[in-house]
Amino acid sequence: MSARNILVINCGSSSIKFALVNEAQATFPLQGLAERVGTPEAVLHWQLGDTKQSLNIPGADHRAALERLLPVAQEAAGGKLDGIGHRVVHGGEHFTGSTLIDEAVLKAIRDSAQLAPLHNPANLVGIDAAMALFPGLPQVSVFDTAFHQTMPEHAFRYAVPEFLYKEHSVRRYGFHGTSHNFVSKRAAEMTELPVDDSCWLTAHLGNGCSTCAIVNGESRDTSMGLTPLEGLVMGTRSGDVDPNLHSYLNRTLGWSLEQIDRMLNHDSGLKGLSGLSNDLRTLQEARVAGHAGATLAFEVFCYRLAKSLASMACALPKLDGLIFTGGIGENSMAVRTRTLEHLKLFNFKLDEEANARCTRGVGGEIQAAGSPRVLVVPTNEERQIALDTLALLDA
């Protein structure tokens, strides 16, 4: 059997990210992005091998953009596409793993839309379009939440009245599951530990950020909750705040729920604290130049991350290693250093040279002698989505 090709699609409300994953190749033969979908400025960018190309597709909706993408993907796959893997943000309690898409699955994703009103409908548009365009191809949905369905009840329940859970699905779900899953398996490979007998703390730090406690290949706790707002300080999201903040702001400033939502999701986090940017690279430069807001944002980010990791440790019987991933985790030696300085009781010590070496896709162990393992592991959500899709094709 020749190596199979899976097209991975991640549909947002106005964008489509895509990658062609070949099971025998380390790099993607094709990857790209359709932006501003549904507007006169819609544009498709892709990289085929080393060649970058763009095509204006004015007014194209998701389906039209996917239609333009199809011949490019077919060509990159040598005419042989074997399946499509779709990222879906929320699978509720219904999905404990990835699944082949059929009518019942579509209905269940639709039913979960209330839990992720911004994301699931966009994911569904992509699935509908791809199913109409590629009716003969097996299509799989891979959920951000599914990996965390192994959390025990004491980790996933909120201390609120039971009917809110039983009748209204109010519980902690967690997100970034594809990434936490991928990097913990990679870490087991890198350290030659068996997946089913190894325990990890993972920190996925991108624009969204979350931590996870993983025991023998299963998530036991994670920092995000009912929505991706809970937990760590993120690019523009506040992470944990006092739940009474809503009523306080309503009472004192007269803010509506929509205003408070927008502030917590879009104007907070690194951006809100620094008053400068949500981008850590910009903040690191400003911090070195003495910018007070950037310095504070960096300090709060690292301290809150350390606190979250320490609390995640409650879910582990032992620790085989702490894993940093995501754009910040993979690149910022300053964040890794400062965060571990806050975790003195764990006795983490970094090898400065190894820490400096791990950036721009280079992973490895970065601890000094005598310290618990600390690893930088580049995440690869597209690869994990393709692996899940292939596993379902084999089954």
By beta-carbon proximity to ligand ADP, the closer residue of 82 and 330 is 330
Interface pick for ligand ADP out of 218, 267, 279, 299 (rule CB under 6 A)? 279
Q: Which of residues 320-349 bind ligand ADP (CB under 6 A)?
A: 326-328, 331-332
- Choosing from 61, 111, 144, 388, the catalytic residue is 144
Nearest to 242 by CA among 272, 264, 275, 222: 264
Site size with ligand ADP, rule: CB under 6 A:
14
Measured CA distances, 133 to 82, 136, 150, 278, 334 (Å): 14, 9, 35, 37, 46
Tokens of residue 109, six digits: 């994703």
Assess 269 for contact with ligand ADP (CB under 6 A).
no
Active site residue 144: yes
- With a CB cutoff of 8 Å and minimum separation 6, the contacts of 352 are none
Q: Is 10 annotated as a binding residue?
A: yes
Q: Which of residues 64-123 bind ligand ADP (CB under 6 A)?
A: none
Smallest gap, in angstroms, from Cβ of residue 291 to ligand ADP?
A: 15
Measured distance between the N- and C-terminal CA atoms of the chain, rounded to whole angstroms: 16
What are the φ and ψ backbone dihedral angles of 269, each rounded to 5 degrees?
60, -145
Of 26-34, 158-166, 200-208, 289-297, which part binds ligand ADP (CB under 6 A)? 200-208
Residue 117's CB is within 10 A of a number of other CB atoms, namely 11
Amino acid at 77: A
Interface pick for ligand ADP out of 280, 309, 312, 322 (rule CB under 6 A)? 280
Q: Which of residues 204-223 bind ligand ADP (CB under 6 A)?
A: 206-208
Point out the residues that are catalytic: 144
Contact set with ligand ADP (CB under 6 A): 206-208, 235, 279-281, 284, 326-328, 331-332, 359
Which residues line the annotated binding site for substrate? 87
Which residues line the annotated binding site for Mg(2+)? 10, 381
Which residues line the annotated binding site? 10, 17, 87, 204-208, 279-281, 327-331, 381
